[in-house]
Amino acid sequence: PSVASSGSRPFIPVDDAFEFPRNRLAIQEVLGQGAFGVVRLATASGICNSRGTTLVAVKSIREDATYEEQCEFVKELEVMKSIKRIGSHINIVNFLGCCTQNGPLCVIVEYCKKGNLRDYLVTFRSYPDNFLRWWDDAEAYMSSVDPEDPESGTATRDMLSQTVLLSFSRQIAQGMEFLAANKCIHRDLAARNVLVNENNVLKIADFGLARNGEYYRKTSAGQLPVKWMPPEALFDQKYTEKSDVWSFGVVLWEIFTLGGMPYSTIPHEDLYSKLMEGYRMERPPLAPESLYDTMKRCWNHFPDERPDFSLLVLILERQLVRMA
């Protein structure tokens, strides 16, 4: 009954390398809501040279999206295609194909069964033993627990937890290193935009989105994207690999607080002046000093003084080796 929107839709040329036949997608439940669309679970038969069916995530745009929103969505698709032409990386949500003809525009990406990293981290709070599932060698923990003394395994468990959290951090740095090497600036790197697949691999999502001024709007979890932004982005809308590095520092803080709310006591209108005074968040209790030092390097006021993602991969690798 609504006004037909056909005719006010951007023209999208067919790209045979990526076009996937709509009738080979079986759409299932909604996984999440985006800014102007939804993401649904689907099975795709014969996608990316696989013989059987594959679980995938399908992003589509709302029926009543404006022409501008549709153009944004097409831009996202083009970014995903251009990165896919260069290659895949295990730590990004890889693009698998799209349906652009005879119906709503759909973008098909890898499905990440365990949802977003922030919600996932929060589950570790009530079930500290969740960490053990990540550890190949849970025996190291079991053998350190004295059945007479329930506290005796705590030190081992904390060390295992730190190792797991460091490995999360390194995976995100690796995905960001790949994106940065391919001239892709994320602009909204946060734990809510990192997904976890069934094999516990972390994957950076939504790197193809153009973003314009939605940073002051709260996310569904009540987070304000400005709290992930460096001063030069807050003040000058200047986005570079190094502004993503600042956000990565906030992601490290989220990881080591198991999904904490950054700057929870600071109203967003005070954030800029506090940062300019040199205020930075404290060390989360779970974070080793060396990791807190890395966080603070990401939060250097001067973008050029912050490490790039290649260096962050090396730094985190070194910290992981030292834990082992």
Q: How many CB atoms lie within 10 A of CB 126?
A: 8
Q: Residue 238: what residue type?
A: K
Task: Name which of 114 and 280 has its Cβ closer to ligand ADE.
Answer: 114
With residues binned 3-state (H G I as helix, E B as strand, rest as coil), the percentages for the chain, rounded to 5, are 45, 15, 40
- What length is written for the chain? 324
Nearest residue (beta carbon) to ligand ADE: 57
CB of 83 to ligand ADE, least distance (A): 15
Q: Which is nearer to ligand ADE, 204 or 287 (CB)?
A: 204
Instruction: Please say whether the beta carbons of 171 and 201 come within 8 A.
Output: yes
| Catalytic site includes residue 188 | yes
Rounded (10°) CA dihedral 290, 295, 299, 305: 50
Which is nearer to ligand ADE, 93 or 315 (by Cβ)? 93
Strand partners, 97: 108
Nearest to ligand ADE of 154, 200 (CB atom): 200
The distance of closest approach from Cβ of residue 258 to ligand ADE in the complex, given in angstroms and rounded to an integer, is: 20
Report, in Å, the least distance between residue 75 CB and ligand ADE: 18
CB neighbour class for 277 (10 Å; exposed up to 12, middle 13-18, buried from 19)? exposed
Q: What distance in Å separates the CA atoms of residue 179 and residue 253, rounded to the nearest whole number?
A: 21
Nearer to ligand ADE, 93 or 271 (CB): 93
Contacting residues toward ligand ADE, per CB under 6 A = 31-32, 39, 57, 93, 109-112, 115, 195, 205
10 near 46, Cβ under 8 Å?
Answer: no
Dihedral (CA of 81, 86, 87, 88) sign = negative
Neighbours of 61 (CB within 10 A): 22
User: Minimum Å distance from CB 59 to ligand ADE?
Assistant: 7
Q: Which of 64, 137, 149, 188 is catalytic?
A: 188
Q: DSSP code of 215?
A: T
Q: Is the distance from CB of 316 to CB of 166 less than 8 angstroms?
A: yes
Least distance to ligand ADE from the beta carbon of 57, Å?
3
What residues are labeled active site? 188
